[in-house]
Amino acid sequence: MREIPLPKFHEGLMKQDKEYAADFDSMLRHCGVNPWINQYYKLGMKEGLFSDMAGALGSMHDTVVEAAKPKLIARNIIDVRSTKESLERFVKAKKSVAYVGAEGGVTRLSGEREETVDIKTNIIIKDSTKWTKELAEDASWNVLNRQLEELGRSVAELETAKIIALYEAIAAADLAGGAVIAGGAAVLTWAKLVEMWDAISGEDFEADTMFMHSKQMSQLFTANEFINSQYMPSSGLQLGSGLVGQALTMNLFKSSKCTNGKVFAVDKNPAAVMLIRRDITTETFEDPRAGEYGVVATERIGYGVLRSKGVSGGTNFKTTF
């Protein structure tokens, strides 16, 4: 199984990414006028966490990345690929058609028909913490570090919300089976889970992922079939990253960013793709005229649906436990 791309820590980026290294050197030369990073540097030195400004900036980046990783649920529900391009054109191959020209004749194969989907990496997800000079100068280490952690979580959660919205925007007629599966305002049951899995199977795909709101996950936990099935043991749970269990051929994920009452099953490799042009990075910023200083965390991505029949959706499930 291909490893899911995740944001890298500072040391790895300095060795592998020339663009990051150049930006880091530029930031290092100019960050001395920023009261926020100066306070972070001074307090970190006092705690013995790093020995110079370069170490402070590297620690700042690593803190944001460490906080972001558990919230990057989106990267488990879509095919994720790194790129250096601003646009990539993906080919959607339609099925070829074989036919017999005559009794006992030669079987012929019609040429494969193709469609293309262009995905631009023009979506910038960012969040920042803005402080006045006086507030930054008086801040404690715990306060500054917590602000960095909040930046990482915020960017990761917005990424997840964007990918979930991508799936939710697929028209009902374009889903596996040609329609959404009705929940009937009832709790999510094992039978409905199998129905969504079967819809994708009927399109010659195999669902490997299912995601839902925590309310539907709680409902599923009461189903005897799920309890008795070979779902993931407690030692294998990764609740922090949204992975809750397994059912049939699917890993099950929950997120508060999912719409309560909706559930999706996906064969994520053919269904959709997210391109990462620039993964989560951090930089300092200062606006002396406005008296604002701080740190911004950003990423640059793009995404799109390739084969919507690899997605099955259920809606109108009960929204309370």
* Band (232; pLDDT cuts 50, 70, 90): very low
pLDDT of 293 > 90? The answer is yes
pLDDT of 221 reads: 86
Indicate if 129 and 15 belong to the same structural domain.
Answer: yes
- Looking at the structure, do residues 244 and 265 belong to the same domain, yes or no? yes
Domain residues for 18? 10-84+118-164+276-305
In 3D, which of 168, 185, 169 has the Cα closest to residue 264? 168
247 within domain boundaries: yes
Tokens representing residue 75 in the block: 């990267």
Residues 56 and 139 in one domain: yes
What is the model's pTM?
A: 0.89
140-176 burial: b if 16+ Cβ within 10 Å, else e: eeeebbebbeebbbbbbbbbbbbbbebbeebeeeebb
Do 70 and 147 belong to one domain? Answer: yes
CATH at residue 234 = 3.30.2320.10
Q: What is the CA radius of gyration of the chain?
A: 24
- 1: in domain: no
Output helix, strand, coil percentages for the chain, rounded to the nearest 5.
Answer: 40, 30, 30
**Out of 105-109, 121-125, 163-167, 299-303, least confident range:** 105-109
Q: Stretch 270-279: mean pLDDT, rounded?
A: 96
Q: Dihedral (C-alpha) 167, 220, 191, 228: value to the nearest 10 degrees? A: 130
| Average pLDDT score over the chain | 90
More confident residue, 93 or 300: 300
31 and 126 inside one domain: yes
pLDDT in tens, 22-68: 999 999 999 989 999 999 999 999 999 999 999 999 999 999 999 99
Q: What percent of the chain has pLDDT over 70?
A: 88
User: What is residue 61's predicted lDDT score, i.e. its pLDDT?
Assistant: 97
94 lies in some domain: no
Question: Tell me, what's the pLDDT at 100?
Answer: 58
* 89, two tokens: 């054109």
What's the mean pLDDT in 290-306?
95
Q: Mean per-residue pLDDT for 274-288?
A: 95
For residue 234, what pLDDT is reported? 46
**pLDDT value of residue 230:** 46
pLDDT at 201: 96
pLDDT of 215 over the 90 cut: yes
Q: Is residue 95 part of a domain?
A: no
Residues 33 and 136 in one domain: yes
Question: Is the domain of 220 the same as that of 234?
Answer: yes
Q: What is the mean pLDDT of residues 200-209?
A: 96
d(CA 125, CA 57): 21
Which helix or strand (DSSP H or E) is residue 100 part of?
A: strand 98-100
Cα separations (Å) of 117 from 62, 90, 208, 312? Answer: 35, 5, 23, 20
Same domain (yes/no): 153, 28? yes
Kindly state whether residue 103 falls inside one of the protein's structural domains. no
Rounded CA gap, 144 and 40, in Å? Answer: 7
Q: Is 3 within a domain? A: no
Encode pLDDT of 165-182 as tens digits: 999 999 999 999 999 999
Span 59-115, pLDDT tens digits: 999 999 999 999 999 999 999 999 999 999 998 756 555 555 555 555 555 555 678
Do 127 and 20 share a structural domain? yes
- Is the residue at 99 inside a domain? no
Q: Tell me the per-residue pLDDT of 130-157, one tens digit each, with 9 for 90 and over.
A: 999 999 999 999 999 999 999 999 999 9
pLDDT tens-place string over residues 8-17: 999 999 999 9
Task: Tell me the three state secondary structure of residue 211.
Answer: strand
Q: Is the domain of 146 the same as that of 35? A: yes
Shared-domain flag, residues 247 and 260: yes
87 beta partners: 120
- Summarised one tens digit per residue, pLDDT across range 243-262 is 877 888 899 999 999 999 99
- Give the pLDDT score at 105: 53
Q: What domain count does the chain have?
A: 2
Position 280 scores a pLDDT of 97
Same domain, 237 and 179: yes
> Could you tell me if residue 90 is inside a domain?
no
